Structure 1
Amino acid sequence: MLIQSKLDSWRNVSRFALLCVGEYGELLSVELAETRARLTREIIALVALAVSGLFSLSFFCIALIASAWNTRYSLAVVWAVAIAWFALSITAWLSYRAQRPVQSFGILKRELRADLETLKEALK
């Protein structure tokens, strides 16, 4: 009788595991799409940060050189461009920092843990 109850228990656990495999596949595809979207946003923010940082440094150097020329309008234009690029780089940096850290496949991990706990309880 003890062997029969163990076999029944293992049979039920295997049925449960087989039912969950399909759900894990669907959950994996959803989480993969979310991770791809987050990664794309992060890469775009990093590229914007790099480009605006390089332009900011370039225009500040140009602004410092133009400061010595002492013309009436060129200084205002050069400094305005330099400040605009600096503001853009600060905005890109702030948007990058505002993003949450990527927690890839968090839902799938929680579901797997919960199902493993259920299986452990069923096998006791």
Structure 2
Amino acid sequence: LNIKVKRAQRERKMEEYEQERKQLLEDGSPEAMEKLKKLEKSKPLFGENLCHVVDEKTIISDKKIESAPPAVTKDEAASSGEDTLDYMEKNEDVLEKYAEIRDLKELEQFLYDHPVLLHE
């Protein structure tokens, strides 16, 4: 009920505004134009007349969407885990020495001497 009352009031105010505007435009005198400017400034603002869409456009990117990499199968996942275990077993001594190094220069030299650590 309250919404209907407000809608009726809004329509009445807009009708009054339009009637007064038409009268001032018909008169056309400089005084009427001044009143028209003041009337435009005091125009009642509602959701319908507050703003409007000027231009609508959709932009579609020219970039091609890359598809996701294929899912890893159970066999591939198991084999990659086995490869890692094999690598760790083969290089266990070197990896232990690598983990014990605390000095940055020693670590750098160790990696130069054992590039197999950087391979996998």
Q: TM-score, normalised by structure 1?
A: 0.32
Determine which structure has greater relative contact order: mean sequence separation of CA pairs < 8 Å that are 6+ residues apart, divided by chain length. Answer: 1
Choose 1 or 2 for highest CA Rg. 2
